[in-house]
Structures are given as C-alpha cells and as structure tokens.
Chain A
Amino acid sequence: MKSLDDLKRIRDAAQNKVQMRGKNDGTRILVGMATCGISAGARPVMNKFVEKIAEYNLDKITVTPVGCIGECAIEPIVEVLQGEDRTTYCRVTVEGVERIVNEHIIGGKVVLDYVIGKYRL
C-alpha cells in the first residue's frame, strides 16, 4: 500500500525544490475530454502525457482536461500551447503521445503526422 508517509516524503521533496512558476508560463497541454473524446480514447492519451511528464521530470508543463470543440469525428484532440503558438493534434493515440512529447515538447518540432491540417483544411 502506498502509505501516507510516502506522500509526506513527496511533499517534503517538493517543498525543498525552489519553484518559480507563473500561472501561464511554460507549456500547456489540453486534452478534449467530453463524451466524444472519452469514447475515442482520450483518457489513455491524457494518462500517457501525465506518465511521460512524470518520467522525464519535465517542469513547467501542465496537462488539463477540457471540453469538446465540435470536431467530434477526429477526437482525441490535443492542443499544445506554447506562448503564442497553438498546435492542434487530432486522432492522437498513445503512441502519438510519445512522439508529441519527444519530438515536439522536448525537441521543439511539430509532429506533422497528427496535426489537424491533415484531416481538415
């Protein structure tokens, strides 16, 4: 059982880390999590993002579930917001998440195979 003592240890470690974080700096990842997104597989996609970010210890990145933007046929939709730049990915799979994290978020290069322009122009 993951005990409360473990949680306290995590808390203490986090308190010792100096964190300077504004609400809007860094990268934001938005995952569509309405009925359409969920049934298309948005939950494992979002979880993969969380796991990858924890694994790589990436700071200043937030993953947030959001609603539906009306393109239900091409869910799961993921938006990556970096400053003024907004990239919309669609039909994202768990494998796609690995590529988006490695190539886009770490590597800085948009993963063209999943961008919305491939499906909607």
Chain B
Amino acid sequence: MNELSLHILDICQNSIKANADLIEIIITEDTINNIYKIDIIDNGSGMDKKTLSEVADPFFTTRATRNVGLGISLFKMAAEMTDGSLEITSTINEGTKVSTIFQYNHIDRAPLGDIEDTLTILILNENMIDIYYKHIYNNKIYIFDTKEIRKILDGIPFTNYDVIMWIKNNIKEGIINIHKEESI
C-alpha cells in the first residue's frame, strides 16, 4: 500500500467489524516539529489485553477464511520505516484507538493520497457508520462530520450519488485549502 489513506481504509474496516457506529479520524501535520500523526478512534467492541498483545502479529487474525492478518502489521511497518511508531489502546465495550506517528519529512513517509476516496467508501458501508474527520495542518483545521451532513440531508440517503460526489469534492477542496500558503 503506497498511500496512508489506504492504510486508514484498512484499519477502519477493523472498526466496522467491531460494530463501531462512530469512527474518528484525526490527522495532524505538524511541520514545525516534523510530525505526521494519524489517530483512528472507534466506539466498537474493543479488545481484551490478550488480543491486544497479539494484533500486531501477522499470523494473528480473528477471521476464518484465512489465517493471516496483515492490516495492523503493514501499517506498523509503514510507521516504523520513518522512525515512527504505532500504538493501540483498547477497552472492552468502549472502543479502540490506533495512534500512528510518522516523521514528517522522512523519505519513506508515504503521502496521504486520496483520503476522500477512503472516506466515501467508509460512508457507503452497509452499517451506516458516522465518520468524524479532522485534518490539522499546523494551525489550520478542516473538519468533515457525517452527523452534520445527515442533518442537512433530512432523510435523503448518503447512497445518493450526487451526495457522494458532493462529499468527495468537499473533502478534496477542504484539504487543499488548509495547505494553501497564506497570501497577504
């Protein structure tokens, strides 16, 4: 996977499996301290201590169709390649938090890529989860919250393709905007 947004999609599938109905994705770009941070927080079923100690092992998986589970392992590797780290904390019945730190300017730090594609796929999921996406670039912030969009939509489903296209463009432009140099 050559984009961080692909890893995010993959990790969020775990949250969906854990019956989360809210996933928070927080991206912090701190160029001053050379940090690129991704937090994924869900309110799913959580894990006990034993499971938690095993998830980063590529040969651990909860599924029956195959006996490897590479999602977390690959994400961890992507972080460690940049002298960063991946940390998971979890509480049963409360949820799980996956925190990943990358070195911002490290040559092996993958770009975020098409995060709007990741988010729309999460929104199209059958389980109707809410997504709260926050992207911080130094002191500028973009927020995308499906709860707010839901209010405006007033019963029109997210699966309406005009809505999906609007969401995609909104995220794309929002992220470009926070990266713009301030013009005086």
Interface SS of A by simple majority: helix
Contact A14/B162 with A1-B177, A2-B170, A4-B152 known, Cβ cut-off 8 Å: yes
Give the residue of A10, A33, A39, A53 whose beta carbon is less than 8 angstroms from that of B13: A33
Q: Which of B66, B121, B166 contacts A68 (CB 8 A)?
A: B66
Mark the stretch among B29-37, B48-56, B90-98, B153-161 that contacts chain A. B153-161
Question: Separation in Å of the A14 CB from the closest CB of chain B?
Answer: 5
B65 within 8 A of A: yes
Tally of contact residues, A, Cβ under 8 A: 34
Bound CA span A70–B9, Å: 19
Chain B, interface size: which category?
A: 35 or more
Indicate if A120 sits at the interface (CB-CB under 8 A): no
Cα–Cα distance between A63 and B153 once the two chains are bound (Å): 20
CA distance A85 to B149 in the complex (A): 35
Whole-angstrom CA separation of A70 from B155 in the bound complex: 36
Q: Is the CB of B120 within 8 A of A2?
A: no
A11: chain B residues at CB < 8 Å are 152-154, 156, 163
Residues on A with C-beta less than 8 A from B162 are 10, 13-14, 54
A6, B149: Cα distance in complex, Å: 12
Chain B nearest Cβ from A7, distance in angstroms: 5
Q: Are B117 and A62 in contact (CB under 8 A)?
A: no
B interface: dominant SS: helix
- Contact at B117–A44, with CB atoms within 8 Å? yes
Of residues B114, B156, B170, B177, which shows the largest number of chain A Cβ atoms within 10 Å of its Cβ?
Answer: B156
- Closest Cβ of chain A to B148, distance in Å, is 9
CA distance A6 to B170 in the complex (A): 10
CA distance A1 to B122 in the complex (A): 22
Whether B1 is near chain A, meaning CB under 8 Å from some CB there, is: yes
Chain B residues, CB < 8 A from A112:
none
The 4 closest A-B pairs by CB, nearest first: A70-B65, A54-B161, A2-B170, A2-B169
**Besides the contacts A1-B170, A1-B174, A11-B163, what 9 more A-B pairs have beta carbons closer than 8 Å?**
A11-B154, A15-B155, A33-B121, A34-B10, A35-B10, A39-B6, A43-B114, A67-B17, A67-B63
B contact set with A: CB distance below 8 Å: 1, 6, 9-10, 13, 17, 63, 65-66, 69-71, 74, 114, 117-118, 120-122, 124-126, 149, 152-156, 159-166, 169-170, 173-174, 177
